[in-house]
Amino acid sequence: MLLIRCPYCEEERPELEFRNAGEAHIARSANIAGESDDDFEKFFFIRSNPKGIIYERWRHIHGCARFFNAVRDTVTDKFVMTYKAGEPKPSKLPGAAK
Amino acid sequence: MSGAFRIPAAGRLKQAKTARFSFDGQSYAGIEGDTLASALLANGVHLVGRSFKYHRPRGILSAGAEEPNALVQIVRDEARKTPNVRATVQELYDGLSANSQNRWPSLAFDVGAVNDLASPMFSAGFYYKTFMWPKAAWKSLYEPKIREAAGLGVSPDRPDPDHYSSRYAHCDVLVLGGGAAGIAAALAAAETGVRVILADEQAAFGGSLRFESGARIDGQDGFAWAQAAVAKLAAMDNVRVLPRTTAFGYYAQNFVGLVERVSDHLKTPGHDLPRERLWQVRAKRVVLASGAIERHMVFANNDRPGVMLAGAARTFLNHYGVAVGRNVGVYTANDSAYAAAIDLKKAGVNVAAIVDLRDNPTGPVIDEARALGIEINFGRAVIRAGGKLRVSSMTVQPKNGGGERTIPVDAILMSAGWTPSVHLFSQSRGKVAFNDETRRFVPGTYAQDCVSVGACNGTDGLSATVDEAYAAGAKAAKDSGAKAAKGAKPKVDASESWSRGMLGAAPGAGPDTTVKAFVDFQNDVTAKDIRQAVHEGMRSIEHVKRFTTNGMATDQGKTSNMHGLAIAAETLGKPIPEVGLTTFRAPYTPVTFGSIVSHARGPLFDPTRRTAIHPWAEAQGAVFEDVGQWKRAWYFPKGGEDMHAAVDRECVDVRTKAGLFDASTLGKIEVVGPDAAKFMELLYTNPWEKLEPGRCRYGIMLREDGFIYDDGVVGRLAPDRFHVTTTTGGAPRVMNHMEDYLQTEFPHLNVWLTSITEQWAVIAVQGPKSRDIIAPLVDGIDMSDEALPHMSVREGKICGVPTRLFRMSFTGERGFEVNVPADYGQAVWEALWAEGQKHGATAYGTEAMHVLRAEKGYIIVGQDTDGTVTPDDAGLDWAVGKKKTDFVGIRGLKRPDLVAKGRKQLVGLKTKDPKVVLEEGAQIVEDPKQAIPMKMIGHVTSSYWSQNCGRSIALALIAGGRDRMGDTLYVPMPDGVIEVEVTGMVFFDETGGRLNG
Amino acid sequence: MAKAAAKTTASPSAERRPALAGRSTSATGVKVDVLAPAERMSLRAPEASLAALSKALGVTLPKQPKTSATKGGRTVLWLGPDEWLVIDEAGNDPLADCAKVTALHSAVGISHRNIGISVAGPAAEATINSGCPQDLSLDAFPVGAASRTILGKVEIVLLRTGEEAFRVECWRSFSDYVFTFLSEGARDAAG
């Protein structure tokens, strides 16, 4: 069981309190109704599924109930960092980013 | 006397406490503190089992958890028959009853032993080669027969009557292994005040100090020092000492699973004691002090009962006071077996000879053995053991060939050296490194915050071990935040020496021989099998392992892996590191299902949710159905009614009089804030801004892809407050879906969501008499149609308690849903029931609810929809706000496939024969005479007998369904084709007049 | 039926039947008791409203994660950055207190949604750790600490009311599971 740092609770908490919520930084268009088929396809269906660093959303559903963002390495299953929902994608990762 | 082989002057057990036990029906006496293995040996019993494949007689190889042979079935009673228990781990208690496994009719005469004679047939890869064809026979014939013949004990066939507990624990320093290294590390850490857990798989701490007669620490015998140190640790508030506890799995971020065997060693376990306790420990630092496991010598017939590890023989002597024979031989490639010979000799056992593969080793133990008059043969090999059910001799030959000499013995003590136990280190994802000089794998690159100390780290000698472990314990404590230690490092006064030994097959079991020199005892893998695997093309050790099954038994190759690897490397002509080591996986030793499941059995397997009104329904004799975790009243049979009769009556009563229904399980969410209506506009297809407070609306929620996700009636209580209902099963995910959008897509909205599912009990009162039933109990609400029209909500009181009273209907009749705070649910229900009795009202369950709604064509999300149905498909396009510029799913609805012609649409179906009730899920075709596979154009989603309609009714999703009104379609079933007519979805009261009836 | 006028005559009040009322169990070192009904409110509010709400409630809303504040029989638990659980055991309705507050907030009554269970005694921590994965040592979870978390397979809110005392809150229909789980945990907690 992993420990995940909740950026709202400001501490590491057991994975059982969390739920994964898919890839992060996929913005819903303010004018979604007018979006082209291609753009909607990219927004709704296409995910990066990388080997290595992934930016994803988690919810501390059985804790503070907040959604937040996390950077995780899909090879080692290690969390690199977490940050609050709405904050920009970090340009630099702590430690040696691959 | 507790056995003829007990030596009163030796060992640490108190002779006074006798424990009687039986093995294969024969009674014996042992001593409290014995293991089953030591007690059997004390009685001269070596033969304890038959091997897996060849059914060869097997004895006790080891004195610990690595035991591959001595697996027995422990029988406490009819329900407690534990198979595959290692006799070397099972502690003796008075009355213990054990049976041998994998033999028939008896241990001494086993019919299956014919496999031993036929062994050329059973060589490596045998399973893969022999049982390939025909393929179908694998499941029906081969596998069952193989399992029957190659059994490993018998599973109990009754529910496990024991209970198992679990505990999450956190500590600063977790020390795994309670030998000298583990104890020293734990002392160093504990003295700083940090939280320490020290666990060892044995009942007694001490590790190798249990047998090392030459160890002295802090002026005491090593074992005595260990006991004193552990007692001191156990008395400290910041330390938890766990004996009989195996660390079986090392997971991410220093999360370690341990199983504590709490009561398997007790004669009568207390009722409250669990059998085992699962510890899930999160440690800031882990100290691995898991020791080393002695390897056997690989020579012909090295599996005969009486042939055992030298260290084990020493443990049986020095700890349990048991001589493993009266005339023993020793076969070794390293120094440590000499100590066994010396100890046994001093205890009065004759040591016939020491056979040492090395040419001219020197050292104090060799001198001492010689001084005791033991015959020592250097540069020689034991090429074969004699005897069958018990070893009777060893045949010795110069290692480079020459004359043979057979020496009579009743036990052979062997040692090829010691393998560091890197299992847990490897599980932690650490990478092992091969030390060419000592020829062993030791911890190399660490992946987690842990450190290995002592023998498992390849550290030789007690003094170096204690130094290393104490320093590591102190550092682990410091790294976890501790201040400096206050204690003093234990001082090693005397210790025994270690030397490296050998890997692989010994002379006499070399490449050109066909002898049975066992590498893996439990899976019957010989040196020849490993070589054959290489000859047949296996190159990687992972393939060799799978082809031969070496290391794949329940002992996971604890004694066999290194030998197997060395033989494979030699055959391949490659250095060992290039062939690689197989990956160690959890569990280290087998873990019971009981421990894994722990509390999650019976009522704690999964929560059972009951409504506030449940006790009333139960008292009425309701039959319940499971809806998710909820128990819901399904129907209320009266006077011997079957389900069909009860549901028919309930349905008719609701439409002619009235019915009460417990709708408490419906999901409920209170949406509050100045932007509540804006939020509702975004989450539902419907318009909400203009909904007046006090009015309700049926809402549809979509996913972004345009498909129906949930539905429910929503009441607006105030401009900034909505009472939203969801489906019973959808409640948690709808809440999550709404929170997701609110927090991450629409965080600018000032609105909050609170689950109120369980705040309110909900009593649906439906039917022409419903108002008459409710009105007398209500305060402060005008119940007239003008003041409280269909689809409206009022707050007031009922029976003196607060209510949110909805005028709404899921039956098509005049109807209400009375929400009251949950603790009042049952009392208000009873008051309504009493009132209802004046009007002939019935209580109805979920089945009648389903029929009644189907009569009206009201859909159930998840039954009539399946995640691929749009509002238009379901005939609900009217609920989509056409002027809206945004809501979740608005774009998805415009996708080409979702607006294409010919989509499956929800329609009604009437069978041509009104008595025939279709099966839900049945497929529908246009032409029943077409060739198979037929083209299926849709399927039945809901189907019931409707007593109110006097016929069967059904809903179905059919391609282009609304263009097929009046068409005849066909439902092919195994016993014939059913003719159906496509109709509208409303079967009863098409004009809807009854809503105000 | 003729027009049914709004009635004003008071009906006798319906009997309150709390779930698990009076259930209690004890084991070596720990006692598990179902607590009496209490007034409860889920409070949601932005930072700017906290002063006004604290004043109205008579207790300062805590802003630190995993903390709570108690005054006059009323405890306010931080559950999230804009979420508090208010539990009043003195019979005063916090909803009524917040009704007057004009500052932005959401107050929803949940008195009947939750059941409170007390776990007390030297083995209380071990009892809860039988199914709760959080570190409940006094350093990590001191007196007054509060958190939504997990017990076995369900969600609970956990409040440490004393060095050897906790209050466990769960939803009504999960209370049977939670009480049974805690009873099982208690049975083994001294071990």
Q: What is the pLDDT of residues B168-203, one digit of tens each?
A: 999 999 999 999 999 999 999 999 999 999 999 999
Closest to C175 (Cα-Cα) out of C118, C95, C134 = C118
Chain B residues whose CB is inside 8 A of the A14 CB are 282
B488 and B447, same structural domain?
yes
Evaluate whether residue A45 is within a structural domain.
yes
B667 and B804, same structural domain?
yes
Predicted pLDDT of residue C156:
98
Gap between the Cα atoms of B97 and B302, Å rounded: 29
Amino acid A1 reads M
B516 and B457, same structural domain?
no
Q: Please identify among residues 101-130 of chain C the ones whose CB lies closer than 8 Å to any CB of chain B.
A: 104, 106-114, 126, 129-130
In chain A, whose CA is at the least distance from the CA of C146? A63
Structural domain total, chain A: 1
Structural domain total, chain B: 5
Percentage of chain C with pLDDT > 70?
94
Helix/strand/coil (H/E/C) assignment for every residue in B230-246: HHHHHCCCCEEEECCEE
Q: pLDDT tens digits, residue range C133-150?
A: 999 999 999 999 999 999
In chain A, whose CA is at the least distance from the CA of C66? A9
A-interface mutation test, from B255, B744, B749, most A Cβ less than 10 A away? B744
C-interface mutation test, from A1, A2, A6, A9, most C Cβ less than 10 A away? A9
Shortest Cα distance, chain C CAs vs residue B132, angstroms: 44
CATH of the domain at B118: 3.10.20.440
Inter-helix orientation angle B541-548/B561-572, to 10°: 120
Predicted pLDDT of residue B583:
82
- Nearest by CB to C147, from A16, A63, A66: name it: A63
A9 touching C, CB under 8 A?
Answer: yes
Does C3 sit within 8 Å of B775, measured CB to CB? no
A-interface mutation test, from C134, C154, C170, most A Cβ less than 10 A away? C134
Distances in Å between the Cα of B921 and the Cα atoms of B730, B909, C52 are 21, 13, 57
Class of C39-110 in CATH:
alpha beta
Shortest Cα distance, chain B CAs vs residue C72, angstroms: 25
B815 and B747, same structural domain?
yes
Does B799 sit within 8 Å of C11, measured CB to CB? yes
Least confident span in B11-15, B119-123, B738-742: B119-123
Does C130 sit within 8 Å of B599, measured CB to CB? yes
B259 and B224, same structural domain?
yes
Residue C90 DSSP symbol: S
Q: pLDDT tens digits, residue range B589-611?
A: 999 999 999 999 999 999 999 99
Q: What average pLDDT does this structure show over B680-705?
A: 98
Amino acid C38 reads A
Identify the residue with better confidence: B53 or C184.
C184
Closest to B818 (Cα-Cα) out of B787, B785, B794, B847 = B794
| A-B Cβ pairs (cutoff 8 Å, strict) | 48
Q: Which two tokens stand for residue B99?
A: 């049976």
Place of tokens 């006074």: B16
SS3 B948: coil
Establish whether the linkage from the previous residue to B364 is cis, with ω within 30° of 0.
no
Q: Please identify among residues 779-838 of chain B the ones whose CB lies closer than 8 Å to any CB of chain C.
A: 779-784, 786-787, 797-801, 820-828, 831
Does C66 sit within 8 Å of A16, measured CB to CB? no
Q: Which residues of A71-94 are buried (b: 16+ CB within 10 A; e: fewer)?
A: bbbeeeeebbebbebeeeeeeeee
Q: What does CATH list as the number for C23-36+113-191?
A: 3.30.1360.120
Q: What is the mean pLDDT of each run of 10 residues along chain A (98 residues)?
A: 97 98 96 96 96 97 98 94 95 70
Q: Quick one: which H or E segment has residue B528? A: helix B527-535
Evaluate whether residue B569 is within a structural domain.
yes
Q: Is the pLDDT of residue B556 over 90?
A: no
Does A64 sit within 8 Å of C133, measured CB to CB? no
B-interface mutation test, from A32, A47, A64, most B Cβ less than 10 A away? A32
Cβ neighbours of residue B671 under 8 Å, at least 6 residues apart?
A: B679, B680, B721, B722, B724, B738, B751, B752, B753
Domain carrying residue A11: 3-84
Does C107 sit within 8 Å of B672, measured CB to CB? yes
**Region of B458 on the Ramachandran plot (φ > 0 left; ψ -120 to 50 alpha; else beta):** left
CATH 3.30.70.1520 range(s) for chain C read 39-110
Q: What average pLDDT does this structure show over B199-210?
A: 96
CATH of the domain at B933: 2.40.30.110
Does A8 sit within 8 Å of C80, measured CB to CB? yes
- Nearest by CB to B800, from C10, C172, C184: name it: C10
pLDDT band of residue C8 (cuts 50, 70, 90) is very low
In this structure, are strands B255-261 and B245-251 parallel, antiparallel, or unpaired? antiparallel
Question: DSSP secondary structure string, B218-229?
Answer: TTEEHHHHHHHH
Domain carrying residue B791: 662-841
Q: What average pLDDT does this structure show over B64-74?
A: 95
Question: DSSP secondary structure string, B586-620?
Answer: S-SS---HHHHHTT-SGGGSS--B--TTHHHHHHT
CATH of the domain at A21: 3.30.2270.10
CATH 3.30.1360.120 range(s) for chain C read 23-36+113-191
Q: pLDDT tens digits, residue range B882-932?
A: 999 999 999 999 999 999 999 999 999 999 999 999 999 999 999 999 999
CATH of the domain at B775: 3.30.1360.120
